[in-house]
Chain A
Amino acid sequence: MSLLNVSDLHASVVTDEGAQPILKGLTLEVKPGEVHAIMGPNGSGKSTLANVLSGRPGYTVDAGSATLDGQGLLELEPFERAQLGLFLAFQYPVEIPGVSNMEFLKASIDSLARARGNEQPNTATFMKQVRELAGSLDLDPAFLKRGVNEGFSGGEKKRNEIMQLLLLQPKLALLDETDSGLDIDALKVVAEGVNRYRRADNGVVLITHYQRLLDYIVPDFVHVLSNGKIIESGDKSLALELEAKGYAWLT
């Protein structure tokens, strides 16, 4: 059984000049335990895929379907998709002034527990767990008291996303260009975090523009997205080929 099943997905971005089709029949299947990398030139629809699957406002679905664990995603509110186990690591994590990281994480984990009929974690245990996680990702525990992403550096923001991934343990993680803007040390920390998350029963969709992240997170499949469709799929060697030849030979 597949974990994520995207079938013939057509979607548009809503602009002032009207709806503009971006995804034009995208099909993708992710089974438990797999890591899929989605690569492609700018404007090919990589981020749109992540946004449409997670339900960000500003997009319309024109045709096709997407399921997580057999449940339809596209009709659900964004928070319901998250409660089902879909996680998006943001390309540009947003600041929420005055809401401390710890408070935000507790609200998140409590909401997920409530929705799934689980008991909400004990606050003291939870805080200890979060502090340990932060430390393991080279994040100063003091940052947990600061507002969400408030005054964080680019690297701290991305590591914060990975910390949330490890804490919330979703079924499927969508990583939207998590590697962008990171120096090599930060990239290694992020990659190590993703590798820690990987298990036989969860999945990763890694959206990236560059091959270098794949040196640290080894994908099972590499797909090339162009003009809203997957035009080529292969294993890790495809990424190296792209690195050497660019995208032009495919399109």
Chain B
Amino acid sequence: MSNSSVDDLVEAGSEYHAGFVTDVESETLPPGLDESVVRYISAQKKEPQWLTEWRLKAFAQWQEMREPKWAHVHYPPINFQDISYYSAPKSQTDGPRSLDEVDPELLRTYEKLGIPLHEQAALAGVVPDPAAIGTPAGANVAVDVVFDSVSIATTFKETLAEAGVIFCPISEAVHSHPELVQKYLGSVIPQRDNYYAALNSAVFSDGSFVYIPKGVRCPMELSTYFRINERNTGQFERTLIIADEGSHVSYLEGCTAPMRDENQLHAAVVELVALGDAQIKYSTVQNWYPGDENGKGGIYNFVTKRGLCAGPRAKISWTQVETGSAITWKYPSVVLRGDESVGEFYSVALTNNRQQADTGTKMIHMGKNTKSTIVSKGISAGGSENCYRGLVRISPTAHNARNFTQCDSLLIGDQCGAHTFPYIENKNNSATIEHEASTSKVSDDQLFACQQRGIETEQAVSMIVNGFCKEVFRELPMEFAVEAGKLLEVSLEGAVG
């Protein structure tokens, strides 16, 4: 009898559609990191003195720090001197220009990935191909594109400018809006916050800068697309989003990288600031190269993301779909300082083969009547390890704070692991904290129930997994939700051979 039970299905590797390399001439720093490298990066970007010093201070702090070892992930020691800290396509060394002047080879790369760099195409709506899965395609999305260490293009700048929205590479904002950058850079995540944040603060290359003026509802979705291309380079982008009082913005982030045998480091920092009554919705579909089925290669994704609800009734919402990377170490957090502010975290993290993920969130309640919601869905397949780690802290000042946490794990096969590490620190007895957790398996019975109704095995698994993630997908912007579903399907290809 030929049966496909769940156990039989957990085999072989999945296909990674974004794994090609772009052949462009690049200026890449030789591997190694010292003060001169930090100065070189700063000089390349013609940065003002204060920023150079800010970087150097971070570098000095980083040198005294140790890599965090508490995460439930295992990997050989990283030699930070083997990494190149700056790489830019040669044709772009003069900084971003208009879209017409972007190197055609680069444009082709993004075409292949399905990223709409032509505003025309974006308006008409772009049909995504498999490589584009996990990337924001479709109408009415303004895109900033970061290729290795530099931003190469930002679309819809004029449309946004009419609304007073600033959306540009952070390297540009340093010159065009120095007062905003200087005020907010490092205000949510200080340079010495943690090892990788300190490293990023010293060597960050580029990233996006967003400012939404008072009372403005951003007229379109904003999006940044990150791509690592060059071999042996790290990517250290830095994103800063400021929503002034009463403003609204929804921001999407997508990531891919070529398939390479060696591991590559990605240590980004994302800071969000929501002033009174402002709302920021930040969605990520992370599809960095996860390595092959034996765990060779793949991105080390060590990312610090934090938002500050600075004023009353501010709201910050993180939604993430994490399917890529060999190792993920990431805890998008919200500091709820304003009274009645709201923090949300919706996450799907899928690991397959040899991937390891240690991800979750921190909700720091400081203001009165603050409210946070955490919904985390971890899916483990193959021989992977998937771990939720979350902190809910209620400070003495946070009267009547509320938190609801729901943490579900789904196992596919019996070679993988799921772990949950919830931390709750409550210093105010008026708080309400709820925690729900569950672990389940895609059972042979569920699979058989679908198959008995004629549904083929792969579709059955993807349907069951999608059902498991439904509460999170509901939070994603429409076009992203569809992509996220497809991405799960592709990422599970190996698990349902």
Contact = CB atoms under 8 A, between A and B. Distances in A.
Interface string B437-476: 0000001111011111111110110011011111100000
Size category of the A interface is 35 or more
A147 B451 CA distance: 17
Contacts of A55: 1, 3, 451
Interface stretch (A74-82, A179-187, A197-205): A74-82
Interface stretch (A94-102, A133-141, A239-247): A94-102
A214 B451 CA distance: 29
Nearest to B377: A98
B466 A79 contact: no
B472 to A, nearest CB: 10
B5 interface: yes
Contacts of A41: none
Contact of B449 (A52, A96, A168): A96
B2 interface: yes
B4 interface: yes
B470 A94 contact: no
Given A57-B3, A57-B5, A98 B469 contact: yes
Contact of B452 (A59, A82, A148): A82
* Majority secondary structure, A binding face: mixed
Nearest to A111: B454
B218 to A, nearest CB: 31
A98 B3 contact: no
A56 B467 contact: no
A148 B449 CA distance: 10
A104 B467 CA distance: 10
* Majority secondary structure, B binding face: helix
- Could you say which of B5, B463, B471 has the most chain A C-beta atoms within 10 Å of its C-beta? B463
A192 B119 CA distance: 60
Size category of the B interface is 20 to 34
Interface string A140-168: 00000001100000000000000010001
Contacts of B4: 57, 77-78
A93 B449 contact: yes
A79 B463 CA distance: 15
Contact of A77 (B451, B468, B470): B451
B457 A83 contact: no
A61 interface: yes
Contacts of A96: 446, 449-450, 463-464, 467
A57 B444 contact: yes
A59 B1 contact: yes
Given A57-B3, A98-B469, A108 B449 contact: no
Nearest to A174: B452
Contacts of A75: 1-2
Contact of A99 (B2, B5, B457, B464): B464
A233 to B, nearest CB: 27
Contact of B463 (A59, A90, A104, A164): A104
A60 B2 CA distance: 9
Contacts of B471: 98
B453 A98 contact: no
Contacts of B454: 79, 82-83, 108, 111-112, 115, 168
B408 to A, nearest CB: 9
B464 A111 contact: no
A229 B339 CA distance: 74
Interface in B457-497: 457, 459-460, 463-464, 466-471
Given A94-B449, A97-B467, A77 B443 contact: no
25 contacts: A54-B452, A55-B1, A56-B3, A58-B3, A58-B444, A59-B1, A77-B3, A77-B457, A82-B454, A83-B454, A88-B452, A96-B446, A96-B450, A97-B467, A98-B470, A104-B450, A104-B453, A107-B450, A107-B455, A107-B463, A108-B454, A111-B456, A115-B454, A148-B449, A164-B453
Interface of B: 1-5, 443-446, 448-457, 459-460, 463-464, 466-471
Given A57-B3, A58-B3, 9 more contacts: A60-B1, A77-B457, A78-B4, A82-B451, A82-B453, A96-B446, A98-B468, A104-B453, A112-B454
**Top 10 closest A-B pairs, CB basis?**
A98-B467, A99-B467, A108-B453, A57-B5, A82-B454, A78-B451, A98-B470, A79-B451, A57-B3, A111-B454
